[in-house]
Structure 1
Amino acid sequence: LMYPTRIIFGRGVIKELGKEISSLGKKALLVTGRSSMRKTGILDRVTGVIKQEGISLDLFDRVEHDPCLETVNQGIKIARKKKSDVVIGLGGGSAMDAAKAIASLARQSGTIWEYYAGRKIEKEGLPFVAIPTTAGTGAEITNNSVLTDRKVSLKKSIRSPYMIARVALVDPDLTLFLPSQVTAYTGMDAFTQALESYVTRTPNPITDTLALQAIEIIFQNLPQAVANGKDAEIREKMALGSLLSAMAFSNSGLGAVHGLAHPIGARFGVPHGLACAILLPQVIGFNLRARPEKFTQIAKKIGVERVEDLPYAIKRFLERIGLSLNFRPYGITEAHFPSIIAESRSSSMSKNPREASDEDLREILKWTI
């Protein structure tokens, strides 16, 4: 296992941010989304903590949902122009992915398009500090940045050990303002990551323990988090479940759900967590025969008596948290399947526990429209 990120977890730990940053430099670039952090007051709170330490702060608040290469390139230019010492990511997975790409590429010689095309990052970038405000993506401790090339509707990762955050401050209090729908989306991303990492082709006993615990925590607490987002105790449990999930999948990998979810998100604008949720029951049904003993353990953890009923139980769970069971609102039809399948053969798909042919994936997708 590899966890080079220093993880600081708990309610109120955001107050330690200034001290952590001051050890890394005196000029910080704060990367975040366009409005939500400002509206909730989190941005003011975080900038206040930073400035109390006498740190010079520049703000890049242009990150959109599923950040594109052009946006990240703007951030890289600002980091270089301002001679930033450290980059801070504040927000959900999109802000994390944009910030870590900006941090890692600001000191490289090539363009972001070269690294997106496969060029290796060859040296250390700027220190990156992650402050997640959702309980879902786990991007605060992973070594990749998921970005979108809007010109060709392609969504994939730049991946490097140099992208890993120096520090991740996981403060559950920062998730108290999440809308219920975003809570459901990000929670299902974390749940899917935990489940896929548990049944992947490349697990180990430690990731199994982390993943199974995450599955249980998220399944037990996500409905309450969606129903009452101001419950600090539930939010803390969700933040822990998300962190455990990330620790598991960042070492053991994912599977067909994530392999399919990325092209669907890039082409049709489906929120990533929702795409995972819709695909999950069908992929579980397909994978059951490959890992019957592990799916049996999952069923036990979430109170399902017969392992064959697991896909149905997940569908009922999605209904409880108010999520759609299909992609119909997004206009996906069978005519789109060939391109989705062609773009799904990522590293995630390669670790799916059961080999999936194009026809297998087509059958999975048929049940989602």
Structure 2
Amino acid sequence: MVASLSLPRILRIGRGAVGELGDVITGLGLSRPLLVTDAFLTGTGAADRLMAALTDAGLQPRLFAGTVPDPTTDSLGAGLAVLRDHEADSMIGFGGGSPMDTAKALGLLAVQGGQMRDYKAPHANPGPALPVIAVPTTAGSGSEATQFTIITDSATDEKMLCSGPAFLPVAAVVDFELTLSMPPRLTADTGVDALTHAVEAYVSRKANPFSDGLALNAISTIGRHLRRLYADGEDIEAREAMMLAATQAGIAFSNSSVALVHGMSRPIGAHFHVAHGLSNAMLFPAVTAFSVRAAESRYADCARAFGAATDGDGDALAAEKLVAALRTLCQDLEVPTPQTHGIGKDEWFRLAPVMAEQALASGSPANNPVVPTADEIEDLYAQIYA
């Protein structure tokens, strides 16, 4: 099998890396970036500090802080207007997955026009697009290193997966110091998101030796550090480790794929406005239990990397231990069920058939070790509700 691999052209990783952002942009021959961020990072002053640093580097930046959680097609309009008014030659996605996904979408629409629904999977998007420089402030989405963006169709509430080289950042600046203010809930949810990326990349039908090594390393790192970080957000060693693991997991799944957890997660986010990492966490143990029978040895490798099994455990036992370990992890991180999160039972079950069809339509479940039917996906939604 020949693996087709794509990575950002430039990766700057480590403490203080954000201080090199101006040099990265200048080195790419760019001068008029649009800084895409959200109200939170504007409110903390982080966006203004970054704007000042870009100006000091001789660039002509413009700020767009209108990103919304789980960006929608409606939310892109204001960004496009600012982008065109500024005559931007590049995009900086500054924040969690939502600002980075917004920057990617705007970069494509600015050049190609149309609507985001024109670009959703299975449509391939090779480009062209404005170059994106990604600066993550959470350790989870991995979007800084992936050729994917997720945009919700405002008309249908479908969370659309859009993929292709057009969405791959040309550069990523990964500085763990930007994550130091993350609260425990966000730390947990983004950490489980990164773990899901790594496990699904490894068990995916599109896995390859390149993605395998990154995935297993990320799983091992997360297994050693996520609980530590949830307990103590000022653990610098754990912050740095989790940031690197999130980027490694992002590279892994961008060059392999995600699978059923993500396919089922997106409709939960679209219909019930549950944060992406949290909806993944709600699903992760049950979907893994459903899938292990078709890839015991692969899940066993994940269990050993995570620290849930030993080399002396057979594959079947190790795979079972992974499922148990994921359940315990979600309990330790206080992951709610849809019910305890406040989602009404009647609405959950009314929308389950729609969510199942949307999950299948995304294409991600086809990468799962067990390719589910719509009925099986509905059953999994029923299992996790309470």
The answer to whether the 8 A contact 2:260-2:368 is kept is: yes
Give 1:269's match in structure 2, choosing from 260, 268, 273. Answer: 273
1:184 partner SS: helix
1:366 has 2:377 as partner? no
2: CA distance, partners of 1:352 / 1:247: 18
1:193 has 2:202 as partner? no
* Cα shift readout 1:106-143 (whole Å, capped 9, x = no counterpart): 12243445445977657422221110000100111111
Q: What is the CA distance between 1:325 and its match in structure 2?
A: 4.0
2: CA distance, partners of 1:298 / 1:352: 15
2: CA distance, partners of 1:42 / 1:126: 24
- Name the amino acid aligned to 2:9: T
The answer to whether the 8 A contact 1:108-1:121 is kept is: no
1:302 has 2:283 as partner? no
Structure 1 residues 159-178: aligned runs within 5 Å: 159-178=163-182
Mean Cα deviation higher: 268-277 or 44-53: 44-53
2: CA distance, partners of 1:191 / 1:336: 27
The answer to whether the 8 A contact 2:120-2:163 is kept is: no
The answer to whether the 8 A contact 1:5-1:141 is kept is: no
2: CA distance, partners of 1:120 / 1:261: 22
1: CA distance, partners of 2:255 / 2:339: 30
Residue equivalent to 1:75: 79
Give 1:97's match in structure 2, choosing from 82, 101, 107. Answer: 101
| Cα distance, 1:14–1:363 mapped onto 2, change above 3 Å | same
Residue equivalent to 2:146: 142
Give 1:338's match in structure 2, choosing from 353, 364, 378. Answer: 353
Residue equivalent to 2:336: 324
| Cα distance, 1:324–1:97 mapped onto 2, change above 3 Å | same
The answer to whether the 8 A contact 1:77-1:106 is kept is: no
Q: What is the CA distance between 1:174 and its match in structure 2?
A: 0.4
* Cα shift readout 1:322-342 (whole Å, capped 9, x = no counterpart): 221444422253332211111
Over aligned residue pairs, what C-alpha RMSD do you find? 1.8
The answer to whether the 8 A contact 1:143-1:161 is kept is: yes
Q: What is the CA distance between 1:357 and its match in structure 2?
A: 1.6
The answer to whether the 8 A contact 2:222-2:306 is kept is: no
Q: What is the CA distance between 1:60 and its match in structure 2?
A: 0.6
2: CA distance, partners of 1:196 / 1:116: 21
The answer to whether the 8 A contact 1:40-1:177 is kept is: no
* Cα shift readout 1:251-296 (whole Å, capped 9, x = no counterpart): 1111110010001110111111111111111111111111111111
- Name the amino acid aligned to 2:374: D
Name the TM-score, length of structure 1 as normaliser: 0.94
Residue equivalent to 1:27: 32
1:368 partner SS: helix
Mean Cα deviation higher: 311-320 or 278-287: 311-320
* Cα shift readout 1:233-265 (whole Å, capped 9, x = no counterpart): 211100111011011100111111001000111
* Cα shift readout 1:133-159 (whole Å, capped 9, x = no counterpart): 001001111112100112211101222
Percent of residue pairs identical: 35
2: CA distance, partners of 1:222 / 1:181: 12
1:352 has 2:368 as partner? yes
1:204 has 2:208 as partner? yes
The answer to whether the 8 A contact 1:185-1:273 is kept is: yes
The answer to whether the 8 A contact 1:270-1:330 is kept is: no
